[in-house]
Amino acid sequence: MIRGTDWEAFQTLRGGGKKDYFMRDGNIFHVIMSQQFDRTFLDEICELATKIRGIAKVNKGVKFLQSLLLGKRAMLYFVQPSTRTFLSFMAACQILGIHCSEVRDTTISSEVKGESPEDTVRTFSSYVDLIMMRHPQAGFAERIAFLLNQIGRPVPVINAGSGRDQHPTQALLDIYTLHRSFENYGGIDDKSIVFVGDLLRGRTVRSLAYLLRNYEGVKLYFVAPKELQMGEDLKEYLREQDVEFEERDNLEEVIPLVDAVYMTRIQDECDEEGESKKIDYSKYHFKKEHLKLLPTNAIIMHPLPRRDEIPVEIDEDKRAMYWRQVRNGMWVRVALIAKIFLKDKDIMEY
């Protein structure tokens, strides 16, 4: 862990350059950005999640898991809307015997009286052993992890979505979904994935694209309206990491070429001027007639929530994985929390 480095100096570090700061004694401690994970970690987290879901099938295993972190307390500081991430973190904590508290609305916290969000989080870090946070500001979770390190408070912070920049635990569950889907087809290496929709403001696609640099021979396609194409910073990162990618406009041409289609919704709630409401987004919908273009072993993913970019009739297709992603998210989050608290060895030996 870097100690004594001031905030400005820390900010000059780029992505993966910050990762040491999120470690403790050689282990992942804070979970802030996808660039901090390597292939070994990703393989381990997938194996651990699968082991945990097997253990949880019987009562004895449920009790074993609940005993692992019994007496620990966690805070869910979610001040931006969430259904899946909030509930799956809460379920993950319950599986491990952790008691949860929550702040979901700053209008009933002392932030109304002018307390800074940093002071709010610092306050509840006095009461808990783990903080999971979703915040509208990019970089907020990183700032809190920095602050807690600086004041010497050993409370891990998990970024559950920060502004437009990152949603690393969604990326971990996406990797776990890809891993399970391609387990019998050579794994994630050499697979092609198309990201579709609002790529400029979609933090899930950013976080997953960062993670995919850990796999050999992966090819990415970005299909988006030109106003909402993937950010230059991420494309620069992929070039540096030798990850092949192509920007395309026509979804139908790309579907037959890929192993996974990753759909996203338009994020017009981020749109102050209402500009993106004028875009014809129907070109970026996965339609029923697209199913016949999709290879037999390919999968359809979506971080959810969806609007009409995937009609419900697609849900019945065996290649639709988005509801499995939701379930996988809970098991990956159990695995992640267990790993942060160094319980992975106990679980693997069970």
- The smaller minimum CB distance to ligand CP, of residues 104 and 219, is found at 104
Q: For residue 11, what are its two tokens?
A: 């900010």
Q: How far apart are CA 85 and CA 82, in angstroms?
A: 6
Neighbours of 156 (CB within 10 A): 21
Angle, CA 342 vertex, CA 339 and CA 343 arms, to 5°: 80
- The smaller minimum CB distance to ligand CP, of residues 51 and 333, is found at 333
CA distance readout (Å), 251 to 118, 231, 267: 43, 19, 19
By Cβ distance, which residue is nearest to ligand CP?
85
Amino acid residing at 5: T
* Closest approach of ligand CP to the CB of residue 221, in Å: 21
Q: How far apart are CA 259 and CA 253, in angstroms?
A: 14
- The smaller minimum CB distance to ligand CP, of residues 84 and 290, is found at 84
Query: Strand pairing of 157-162 and 130-135?
Result: parallel
Residue with tokens 């979901």: 104
* Closest approach of ligand CP to the CB of residue 37, in Å: 18
* Closest approach of ligand CP to the CB of residue 50, in Å: 21
30: which residues sit within 8 A by CB, 6+ positions away?
Answer: 21, 22, 141, 145, 156, 157, 158
Amino acid residing at 221: Y
* Closest approach of ligand CP to the CB of residue 84, in Å: 4
* Closest approach of ligand CP to the CB of residue 130, in Å: 18
- The smaller minimum CB distance to ligand CP, of residues 142 and 174, is found at 174
Per DSSP, the three-state class of 20 is helix
Burial 274-299 (b: 16+ CB within 10 A, else e): eebeebebeebbbeeebeebbeeebb
**Chain positions contacting ligand CP, by CB under 6 A:** 82-86, 161, 167, 170, 303-305
- The smaller minimum CB distance to ligand CP, of residues 21 and 202, is found at 202
Query: Strand pairing of 23-24 and 27-28?
Result: antiparallel
Residue with tokens 């000059």: 12
* Closest approach of ligand CP to the CB of residue 138, in Å: 15
* Closest approach of ligand CP to the CB of residue 172, in Å: 12
- The smaller minimum CB distance to ligand CP, of residues 83 and 101, is found at 83
Amino acid residing at 178: L
- The smaller minimum CB distance to ligand CP, of residues 269 and 349, is found at 269
* Closest approach of ligand CP to the CB of residue 260, in Å: 16
* Closest approach of ligand CP to the CB of residue 242, in Å: 29
- The smaller minimum CB distance to ligand CP, of residues 149 and 159, is found at 159
195: which residues sit within 8 A by CB, 6+ positions away?
Answer: 202, 205, 208, 209, 220, 221, 222, 223, 224, 230, 262, 264
Q: For residue 292, what are its two tokens?
A: 């016949």
The residue among 13, 42, 7, 17 whose CA lies nearest residue 179 is 42
- The smaller minimum CB distance to ligand CP, of residues 161 and 197, is found at 161
